[in-house]
Amino acid sequence: MVDPPTEYRRKRRDSEEETVRWRPWALALIAACIAASVPVTSTAHAETTRSFPETGFAITDSHFLDFFDARGGVATFGYPISREFTFLGFPVQMFQRAVMQRFPDGHVQLLNLLDDDLFPYTRVNGATFPAEDPDLVRTAPAVGSPGYASSVLHWIADTAPDTWQGIPVGFHRTFTSTIPLRSAFPAGAANPALIAGFALEVWGLPTSRPAFDPHNHEVVYQRFQRGILQYDASCGCTRGILLADYFKDILLGQNLPPDLLEAARGSRFFGQYDPSRPGWIARPDQLPATDLTRAFEPVATPVVAREEQNGKPLQTGSAPPPDVRARSIAVVDEASGALLYGRDPHLRLAPASLTKIFTALVALQKGQLSQRITARFDPHQLTDSTLMGIRPGETYTLEDLLYGLMLPSGNDAALAIANGIAGSEERFVALMNDQAAALGLADTHFVNPHGLDAPGHYASAYDLAVAARYAMTHYPVFRQLANARSWTVHGTRSFTVFNLNRFLWSYPGADGVKIGYTEAAGHTIVASATRNGHRVYVVLLDCQDIVDDSVPLFNWVFSTFTWPGDAPHS
């Protein structure tokens, strides 16, 4: 379908036709030639509202729900992160990766989020995305030209390669496999020829060539009209950046990483969400025909158990889960967020140093890696605990302190980060609890940034899996921290820190995340491993052995579950 970006650049006139100025290359894509003639298949939903406890929001409009299901669900769009609200004249709903908009005739399209007026930013949380390349855009086949449908497909295949500079980036494969046939054609009679058109509805045309992140050649990006694909060599996986999450934070004016905060301050969208003003808009003259009332207030709805979940792996093997010695267990799929197995997953227990997942997450949001921090803490607080090895009064970068936090599980690093970022341990812990609340975690509360036993300091296995999943999917730096084996610190003194997580050396595909131990908590671990592009999290609280108890669960998941698009296990 064709997308009218100028609908978002000026007020509507008397008729929709008067306002639409089509970009000559913009979304008349294959959707104009093929998919426009095929409406989204309406699905007969037993429910009129679908709730998502992962974020606290629901899809309540049947048009949005039909489009969500027909285009791949959670795996394509992520979870809803808003209610339905009016944005520049259109009813919209925000998801983690995209913003849906509904037109007067009921049809749904995706907002071109990367348009210059909306999200023109290329530096986000230490990552550098490629900018739009006008020279590349001009090479796209002209809409309406002879053989356009075929030529644009070939152009996309040439522009979005699966292999680039010898690296298996998988951009074309990811593009073409975005939407499973069973999602687009739930009633059967699938037409694979239309899938490329539907994928174009989601991504739009490529608008850049593949490009390394200039600061991390483990990561390759490619920009499209509506999203950015990222290849990460550390997991061998390709996925979309959660851009709409960042756009929501711009509207809220909070939780932005420093580089995006600096760039977005001048945007007309920045900090507009204001519950004290009519329409909940801080500067209504800048957002005509917009009503943000309660847009980002979670919906208090009960958790609805669903056997079928879009993007959720299906258990195709018959083996029961292994008997693992742990007081609480949560096994979570990264792509769908589905809880694949749990034993008392919501039980509130002492998490020990798994706390530091939140410490790192808040530090990455509020600080800058190059920021120099002079360590302030009382060494007497840390008797008989794991340490990075720094001393009060020494100065190190936040990046060094984060490696000291995550690898040797330095409680001294945790206090130095808390005091350096927030000015005090108390204020930093408040930010940690704010982050837990923002993620909708009901069974988590912190009283310190390191995880030493304390009354009122607890988390659940499920909450820790959700937090790890959020950190690993939102922050490339966090993935590096979770997977690093060692790091050489350069500050007041230079020395090397080593990762204490034995699981990283013990399981093929292991890539994180954090271990812990205290007398009250016992052994704890948030483990992650990736196989065939699918990352799974195993969280064990109060277990006997972090390796012996987590490995059987990973083996069980990877041998008995099948992900959408994978061949079933024989």
Distance separating alpha carbons of residues 539 and 462, to the nearest angstrom: 7
- Residues with Cβ within 8 Å of residue 383, at least 6 apart in sequence: none
Q: Which of 356, 460, 528, 550 is catalytic?
A: 356
By the 8 A CB rule, do 328 and 460 touch?
A: yes
Distance separating alpha carbons of residues 411 and 352, to the nearest angstrom: 11
| Residues written for the chain | 570
**Taking every pair of C-alpha atoms in the chain, what is the biggest distance, in angstroms?**
77
Task: Tell me if residue 366 is catalytic.
Answer: no
Distance separating alpha carbons of residues 543 and 249, to the nearest angstrom: 37
Helix or strand or coil: residue 332? strand
Task: Tell me if residue 336 is catalytic.
Answer: no
Q: Which of 183, 328, 409, 460 is catalytic?
A: 409
Helix or strand or coil: residue 387? coil
Residue 479 has phi, psi (to 5 degrees) of: -60, -40
Distance separating alpha carbons of residues 427 and 404, to the nearest angstrom: 21
What percent helix, strand, coil does the chain show, rounded to 5?
30, 20, 45
DSSP code of 8? G
CA dihedral 285, 291, 293, 299 (to 10 degrees): -140
- Residues with Cβ within 8 Å of residue 414, at least 6 apart in sequence: 356, 359, 405, 448, 449, 450, 451
- Give the CB-side neighbour count of residue 243, counting CA atoms within 13 A: 28
Q: Which of 82, 183, 267, 353 is catalytic?
A: 353
360 closest CA partner among 240, 510, 513, 530: 513
By the 8 A CB rule, do 516 and 500 touch?
A: no
Q: How far is CA 121 from CA 93, 127, 245, in A?
A: 22, 11, 14
Helix or strand or coil: residue 557? helix
Distance separating alpha carbons of residues 77 and 94, to the nearest angstrom: 9
Burial class (CB in 10 A: 0-12, 13-18, 19+), 110: buried
Task: Tell me if residue 409 is catalytic.
Answer: yes
Distance separating alpha carbons of residues 412 and 363, to the nearest angstrom: 15
How, if at all, do strands 314-315 and 372-374 pair?
unpaired
Residues known to be catalytic: 353, 356, 409
